[in-house]
Structure 1
Amino acid sequence: MQKTNTKIGFFASTISFLMVFAASATPIPLYDIYRQEDGLTYNDLALTAVVYFVGAITALLIFGRISNHLGRKPVAFLIFALTAIATIILFDVDSATPLIIGRLLLGLACGLASSALTSYIADSASFLPHWVPSAVISNSPMTGLTIGAIVSGSLVEFGPYPRVLCYIVVLVILAICTILITVSKETIEKTPGLINSFKPKFSLPQADKRLFPIAAVTFVSTWAMGAFYQAFGPSVAVDQLGTHSTLMIGILFSSYLLPSAIGGPLTAKLTPANAQRIGMVMFTVGVMGIITSLKFSSITMFLLCSALAGASQGAALTGSIRSLLADVKINERAGILSLIYAVSYTGAAVPSFISGQLSHHMDLFHVSIFYGIIAVVACFITLIFAKNPKHVEAEVEL
């Protein structure tokens, strides 16, 4: 019975984590409609990405450890409430303001989820191989974003009420997730100290401190590219690749995100350092191909190179998270996962702000070169400095 409850908790927390990120991607296929019908600019769209990541960072800074004190389940319900409120606000987008507010709340929800729900996943995964929770945690955001973008793009293009139906679907699935979490088993005992937990504090219990800087490089560079897709994906599809189909916009957006779920499992037999190195080399090759496809307006090349970059991202991130979670105790997971995602969101927010400013002076092809430079620099740093956890190094020596 205990094992059954654990399996239900793992399933419920994984589905919920996916769903929160799916909800955050739901408005993205509508961006070109908002731009054409409501007058939003490239900078407005970049700003929606910035506030989304700022919301996520804020949640991690202030609320990243509250699930250690309130429990995983109550924080999951708070996440669902924030997502529902944001979704209701997005029912009526007639300017940049409601879109920005909605994305800010979605960022808060995703930030909380990146600590509480990922900890719930890790807590409930004792019956699974060691690489599975790392792969789920690292790849679920991208997979959820993919699901949200494609389903939303399909409903906008083929369903009735194109500006609201996708949000109704989100609310229905949120209700299902609420039921799943309700029947799941709590995995942590509530402890005092809630107020003190609001003080920003990240933990890095991994004794081998040299592992974090390289992991941070992989988080920043790959999430920055994901932010490019969030801010400019629909505009790239329309202005650089020549398609107005919201379904195709969803597919183009997802071509980078979905393959990341493949990259994680492929690293199961690699050491964390080798997963980081191989992942970052292939990621950089993919990014260079993406930039080239924009130059020649090739949708086919864009899809192929996006898939390569996405799968490589999954490999690099899974390797990094495996290295940082090695030998970490259950009550230390929320702190380190908060740190991981705070760095990732910061790595996405800062380039988004810079690219928004660049969009005033150059087209999206030239903006994309900025992201290519980030990838190249990160690749060289990873190749030179990537290391394995000490217990892995010992196993390799044996």
Structure 2
Amino acid sequence: MVFAASGAPIPLYERYRAEDGLTTADLSVAAVTYFVAVMLALVLLGRLSDHIGRRSAALAAVALATVGSLILLEVTGLPILMAGRFLQGVACGLGSSAVAAYVVDLAPERPRWLSATVVAGSPLIGLTIGAVGSGALAEHGPAPERTPYLAVAVCLAVCAALLVTSPEPVARRSGVLASLRPQVYLPHRIRPLLPAAIAVFCGTWALGGFYQAFSPTISAQSLGTDDTLIAGIVFASFMAPYALGGPLSGRLSPVAAQRLGIVVFALAVAGVVIGLRTGAVLTVILCGIVAGCAQGAAFTGSMRGLLQRTSAADRAGLMSTVYLFSYGGAALPSLVSGRLTAAGVSLETISLGYAALAALAAIVVLTTAGRERVHPRAADGEGTVSTAHHAPEK
């Protein structure tokens, strides 16, 4: 629901553009604001739940998402939209580390792919629920620019009540202020896996950023409609199939899931580009579905490989690092796309850049996945790469 809250504004972007004077470039800036807020939270708050507890951190994420949604009840210009998106981004950043670690801590051992699929899929599935639900409420409910956020706030209140009754797997400990020091956590055990994993995270989430910023525009230009529900469905055509990728690749090894998933993803993105350039809306939607499913397989395979080499004490830091790379992969292309859009470059031309990113990710994965060699001593050590300093390594 934290991610659903962040997905709720997306179908309303075209309405904001038409009725509140926002431009397509403004909407891209709002998307970048969200991504930057997530990354700041991941760097600063990634290990907070190790000290205050998973439940307390999860409740904080729910509270931030609620406040961000309530701010968006009155969008009168870009500053308010940015403020709401910033708070929602911080909530998602905190959720990506704290709630993700919470899920892994409490997950059963079987099936093995379950916790990785839930952790990796929750952001995209949440965004899908938020976008489609918001689109339906905005199109067919009262007060179209308010009802979606009120509905999200009610659901978040229910989540808070459920969290209060949930078990706490982590004991509180000192060092809260020290944990806020900017840090990217990279245990030695996972470092050989990082080139392929980062390629998957960045390459696949880049397309997610494209859909988040431009789904309403695709709907308006390709389908000739400003129906918010249709915009939500276009967004969901890529996001929702993610849930299928993890279970479908459950019988594959992590490396096989990475390789197969990223190759199919790159081919599907090429299909999306062709559909946009030829005006074939059905091709765009079908290839988006295939790309989403392939992303689920590649991302879950990457997560499974990392989690197999990570201890409970490393999970929150690992989750924050994983999503730092993921959101970074979405934010930078979105920023560039926004500048290109403001300069008059067409959406069809911009999509070629995303196809190139997908192809590059596939090349990196195919050349690096499964070829790592870990020295026995390195497998027992751990270290961090900090923005402030390099910690001593064992």
Pick the TM interval, shorter chain: over 0.9
* 2:187 is the alignment partner of 1:218: no
Kindly state the Cα deviation for residue 205 of structure 1 after the two structures are TM-superposed.
Answer: 2.4
Residue 376 of structure 1 corresponds to 359
* 2:156 is the alignment partner of 1:167: no
* 2:14 is the alignment partner of 1:21: no
- Partners of 1:61 and 1:203 in 2: CA distance: 9
Change in CA separation of 1:147 and 1:348 when aligned onto 2, cut-off 3 Å? same
2:190–2:309 Cα contact (<8 Å) kept: no
Kindly state the Cα deviation for residue 43 of structure 1 after the two structures are TM-superposed.
Answer: 1.0
Residue 368 of structure 2 corresponds to 385
Q: Which amino acid aligns with 2:64?
A: L
Equivalent position SS for 1:202: strand
Residue 139 of structure 2 corresponds to 157
- Partners of 2:372 and 2:334 in 1: CA distance: 32
- Partners of 2:153 and 2:256 in 1: CA distance: 41
- Partners of 2:281 and 2:230 in 1: CA distance: 10
Q: Which amino acid aligns with 1:246?
A: T
Further displaced range: 147-156 or 205-214: 205-214
Q: Which amino acid aligns with 1:145?
A: L
- Partners of 1:128 and 1:89 in 2: CA distance: 41
2:256 to 255, 274, 282: 274
1:137 to 119, 123, 130: 119
Equivalent position SS for 1:279: helix
1:241–1:294 Cα contact (<8 Å) kept: no
Q: Which amino acid aligns with 1:372?
A: A
Kindly state the Cα deviation for residue 208 of structure 1 after the two structures are TM-superposed.
Answer: 4.7
- Partners of 2:158 and 2:257 in 1: CA distance: 36
| Count of matched residue pairs | 373
| Cα deviations by residue, 1:191-247 (Å, 9 ceiling, x for unpaired) | 111111011223222525220121001000111100001111111111233222211
Kindly state the Cα deviation for residue 127 of structure 1 after the two structures are TM-superposed.
Answer: 4.7
Residue 55 of structure 2 corresponds to 73
| Cα deviations by residue, 1:34-80 (Å, 9 ceiling, x for unpaired) | 00111111111111111101000000111110100000111111111
- Partners of 2:371 and 2:120 in 1: CA distance: 18
Residue 348 of structure 2 corresponds to 365
TM-score calculated relative to the size of structure 1? 0.91
- Partners of 1:330 and 1:244 in 2: CA distance: 47
Q: Which amino acid aligns with 1:368?
A: S
Kindly state the Cα deviation for residue 362 of structure 1 after the two structures are TM-superposed.
Answer: 0.7
Equivalent position SS for 2:191: coil
Q: Which amino acid aligns with 2:170?
A: I
* 2:186 is the alignment partner of 1:204: yes
Residue 341 of structure 1 corresponds to 323
2:189–2:310 Cα contact (<8 Å) kept: no
Q: Which amino acid aligns with 2:194?
A: F
1:276–1:315 Cα contact (<8 Å) kept: yes
Q: Which amino acid aligns with 1:267?
A: S
Q: Which amino acid aligns with 2:23?
A: T
Kindly state the Cα deviation for residue 388 of structure 1 after the two structures are TM-superposed.
Answer: 7.0
Residue 231 of structure 1 corresponds to 213
- Partners of 2:373 and 2:159 in 1: CA distance: 39
- Partners of 1:224 and 1:317 in 2: CA distance: 13
* 2:33 is the alignment partner of 1:43: no
- Partners of 2:316 and 2:24 in 1: CA distance: 36
Q: Which amino acid aligns with 2:357?
A: I
Equivalent position SS for 2:110: coil
Equivalent position SS for 1:129: coil
Residue 281 of structure 2 corresponds to 299
1:55–1:105 Cα contact (<8 Å) kept: yes
Q: Which amino acid aligns with 2:362?
A: C
Q: Which amino acid aligns with 1:251?
A: I
* 2:321 is the alignment partner of 1:331: no
2:135–2:231 Cα contact (<8 Å) kept: yes
1:120 to 98, 102, 117: 102
2:229 to 247, 263, 266: 247
| Cα deviations by residue, 1:273-321 (Å, 9 ceiling, x for unpaired) | 1111100111011111111111122221111000000000000000111
- Partners of 2:320 and 2:59 in 1: CA distance: 18
Q: Which amino acid aligns with 2:85?
A: R
Kindly state the Cα deviation for residue 376 of structure 1 after the two structures are TM-superposed.
Answer: 0.9
Q: Which amino acid aligns with 1:376?
A: A
Residue 383 of structure 2 corresponds to none
In structure 2, stretches of 5+ residues that fail to align are 375-394
- Partners of 1:270 and 1:388 in 2: CA distance: 17
- Partners of 2:225 and 2:202 in 1: CA distance: 30
TM-score calculated relative to the size of structure 2? 0.92
1:258 to 227, 235, 240: 240
- Partners of 2:222 and 2:28 in 1: CA distance: 17
Change in CA separation of 1:367 and 1:331 when aligned onto 2, cut-off 3 Å? same
